[in-house]
Chains A and B, each alone.
Chain A
Amino acid sequence: MKSLKIIVLAKQVPDTRNVGKDAMKADGTVNRGALAAIFNPEDLNALEQALRIKDRYPESEIVILTMGPGRAAEIIREAIYRGADKGYLLTDRKFAGSDTLATSYALSMAIRKMEPYAMVIAGRQAIDGDTAQVGPQVAEKLGLPQVTYVEEIQEITNNKIVIKRRLERGVEIVKSSLPLLITVHNSAPACRPRHAKRLMKFKHAQTVTEMQDNSEDYISLQQDRPYLRIEEWSVDDVKADDSMLGLSGSPTKVKKIDNVVFKAKESKVLTAQNVDIEWLVKELITNNTIG
């Protein structure tokens, strides 16, 4: 086996570690525009696993697939700078409001269009939802075996792969045939940085929509260098069924959103001074909380 086609699923996520107010819309969905958008961290671990396979089998092809609004092309470029070969942006208003089931359906339809492939690699979960559902659901839709929480691909040969998984309390080494879908755990190696030469070469990689928003120069540039084109796929391009997408294709409905209400106890406020701390420790000993 000389070459493998590997599809890496990646998601651009709002940086939920730094959320401001007004981040939610009235219908309970996320106002992504209000937040910094980043490459989902575990999807970078996933990309690294793909790059390591390509290190071993340099003829392999790494294709990034992401679903999201136009700006999600940013993470395709980022992946290409780090060594991915090309990317597809699945983008359509009809995808808006999709839950994990509708999302995995859309992704699976796009992946079907890329057959044949050897592997689908995704991060374990995205930080904006932490559900870890899309990977296994895509696998089910494609009828692929799944191996979740992957830490290391130990061996990959003709139609056979040996994988180390990181579980809550232990590790497992498993063997499977190809094709399969794996989800990568954050204990797997971090992704390599951008490659300076690739950054120069692919700096102007763009989707058609981005080109239209830019000057004519970019269009002629892309005609000369077709590798700068990031493909955009719509619902029709992947032959998906509208009724299985977006809010109508999502069985989970957000019934309501509550702001976080503080239970607000009658707290006794203390300082770090000796007198306060000694008083507290004595109090805890007296009422038998400690001691």
Chain B
Amino acid sequence: MKIQNRNIVNNIFICCEVEEGLVAEVSLELLTKGRSLANRLNCKLEAIAIGSGLEKLPDQVFPYGVDVIHIADDPRLSPYTTMPHAAIVIGIFRKEEPQIGLFGASSVGRDLAPRVASALKCGLTADCTQLEIGDHYEKKTDTEYKNLLYQIRPAFGGNIIATIVNPETKPQLATVREGVMKKEILSVSHKGKVKPVAVNEFVNSTDFAVEIIERHMEQRKVNIKTAPIIVAGGYGVGSKENFELLFELANLLGGEVGASRAAVDAGFVDHERQVGQTGVTVRPKLYIACGISGQIQHRAGMEESAMIISINNDPHAPIHSIADYAIVGEVSDVIPKMIRYYKKNSK
């Protein structure tokens, strides 16, 4: 049997997203995960930041344990457009040969990462919910690969959990949604090295084929990620009107309204309230799941809640099995009662 061990000089790279001079939350979460993977693999953690006016950026990322940050600072690089950003990431990856590259699964990351993966002819896994390090034996070639990145995600309608590996191509690329990984500062005094990127080495004028004429970014209206209490509704809530009940309860409890993908797809609420693999991952102290069946993609986004209450008229709905309190009943019956008894019993 052949044994392939990755060279430890190959590092882990996180492509950071920058919004108005600030590193995006999802990137800080990935830096935290990247740091722990780097410790496990005994390699360095490097970051890439592309944009304009990035002087203050290194100080934002160093506390998360970044050893090296590559900064591409050029007025033409903000706001984000695909080709110049892709050219820079591809150029840096070709030069530095990382073993792992991670991107946020955001509008930007999901536009950029596939372009990079295609150019480097390497594997990319979207929307991972876990990243681990492990070995892999390839039967066909009788080769044991040491220390691969296990890219774990629910797949195929959420009926299964798939573990994906890229044994033969480097870097191993993955995207992760905001909120899936926990953000944690390593040390406020940690300092790394800043490597300025010579932008013109990688980017040429034809990369600016797509030009932004107008841009309207809305402030985030709701941030369910930080809400202590979430009242979430699924397709079983039935209508936009019935969702009003959930809003009433959430307001009363000082929480926010969340939703399953089915409820968002049905147009009951906005996408930014979506909890789950393709939405946000939340860890509130109380999660009330109303009319949600509890498919794995949804559970991936909420099962670490401190307490879960499920309301579903189907006694066999999977959501009940992960709930602390499982209420078998109609949402439209139970929620008004909860509102009534809360008003009666709270001071």
Which residues of A pack against B, CB within 8 Å?
Answer: 14, 16-17, 19, 21, 23-24, 28, 30, 99-101, 104, 128-137, 139-141, 145-149, 162, 167-177, 180, 250-260, 262-265, 267-272, 274, 276-278, 280-282, 284-285, 289-291
Residue in contact with A254 in the complex, picked from B86, B164, B320, B346, CB distance below 8 Å = B164
Q: Residues of A contacting B216 with CB < 8 Å? A: 170-172
Closest to B294 in A: A262
**Which 8 pairs across A and B sit closest by C-beta, in order of nearness?**
A272-B329, A251-B123, A16-B157, A170-B217, A252-B123, A140-B118, A137-B118, A133-B114
Partner of A174, one of B210, B310, B346: B210
Q: Are B165 and A253 in contact (CB under 8 A)?
A: yes
B324 touches A251 (CB 8 A): no
The total number of A-B Cβ pairs within 8 Å is 249
Question: B320 touching A267 by the CB < 8 A rule?
Answer: yes
B341 pairs with A252, CB closer than 8 A: no
B188 within 8 A of A: no
Is B185 part of the binding interface, using a Cβ–Cβ cutoff of 8 Å?
no
Cα separation A269 to B212 with both chains bound (whole Å) = 55
Task: Scan B299-342; emit 1 where CB is below 8 A from any A CB, else 0.
Answer: 00001000111100001001011111111111001100110011
Select A257's contact among B161, B309, B324, beta carbons within 8 Å. Answer: B161
Please give, as numbers and ranges, the residues of chain B lying within 8 Å of A128 by CB-CB distance: 156-157
Do the beta carbons of B347 and A291 come within 8 Å of each other? Answer: yes
Interface string of B122-157 (1 = CB under 8 A from A): 111111000000001010000000000011001111
**Are A267 and B325 in contact (CB-based, < 8 A)?**
yes
Contacts of B308 in A (CB 8 A): 265
- A258–B163 CB distance below 8 A: yes
Given A135-B114, A260-B158, A289-B285; 15 other pairs, CB 8 A cutoff: A174-B211, A174-B213, A176-B211, A251-B121, A252-B164, A253-B138, A257-B155, A257-B161, A259-B160, A263-B321, A270-B325, A270-B328, A274-B337, A277-B334, A277-B338
* A262 with B321: CB separation less than 8 A: yes
- The answer to whether the Cβ of B111 comes within 8 Å of any Cβ in the partner chain is yes
Determine the distance from Cα of A21 to Cα of B344 in the docked complex, in whole angstroms: 46
| Secondary structure call for the A interface | mixed
Q: Which residues of A contact B253 (CB under 8 A)?
A: 290
Residue from the list A169, A282, A291 in contact with B220, Cβ < 8 A: A169
- B53-78 interface (Cβ within 8 A of A): none
Select the stretch in B28-36, B44-52, B166-174 that faces chain A. B166-174
Q: A278 touching B345 by the CB < 8 A rule? A: yes
Selected from B81, B119, B309, the residue in CB contact (under 8 A) with A140 is B119
Complex contact A263–B303 (CB within 8 A)? yes
Q: List 27 A-B contacts (CB under 8 A).
A: A19-B157, A21-B159, A24-B159, A24-B160, A130-B278, A136-B82, A137-B115, A137-B117, A148-B82, A170-B217, A172-B79, A174-B212, A253-B165, A255-B164, A259-B160, A265-B323, A268-B325, A271-B327, A271-B328, A277-B341, A278-B337, A278-B345, A281-B338, A281-B341, A282-B345, A290-B286, A290-B342
